[in-house]
Amino acid sequence: MKRVTGLGGVFFRCTDPEKMKDWYRTHLGIESDKYGGMFTWRNPDDPGKTCITAWSPFPDSTEYFKPSDKQFMFNYRVENLRALLDELRKEGVTVVGEVEEFEYGKFGWIMDPEGNKIELWEPIDEPLLRAAGK
């Protein structure tokens, strides 16, 4: 079974997410909507398939990173979230919360040994691409 297949996103806390999005847009060219930016790329195993990687600043007050108190959270793309979470549990990895399902994929969370919350995403890229007009 494949585990991580790629980087799904980078999320970080900051005091003013809108100011950060403006700074990154002005100085680094990262276009954002209310959720943040989106990078598109081609799947090397299926070049006809467009995939995305998300980039998003969150307010310092966000509860989304809990139980971690870290400034960053990484999102990794996976192929079979439920099977992977079952394997990780068997290996003694701390799984946080329940799997959540949306139009654009399934999400689950784990903790690494240093208290970093890691988001695992079994993506469905097409709804996100349509919403972004790509």
Place of tokens 């959270």: 73
27 burial level (CB within 10 Å; 0-12, 13-18, 19+) = exposed
The distance of Cα 52 from the centroid of its chain, to the nearest Å, equals 10
pLDDT at residue number 124: 87
Q: What number of other Cβ atoms are within 10 A of residue 66's Cβ?
A: 11
What is the pTM assigned to this prediction?
0.89
Q: Into which CATH architecture does domain 4-131 fall?
A: Roll (3.10)
- pLDDT-derived band at 43 (thresholds 50, 70, 90) equals confident
3-24 confidence digits (pLDDT tens): 999 999 999 999 999 999 999 9
Query: What separation in angstroms does the CA of 79 have from each of 1, 14, 84, 124?
Result: 9, 31, 8, 10
49-87 confidence digits (pLDDT tens): 889 999 999 999 999 999 999 999 999 999 999 999 999
Residue range 97-120: average pLDDT?
96
pLDDT at residue number 134: 64
More confident position, 133 or 87: 87
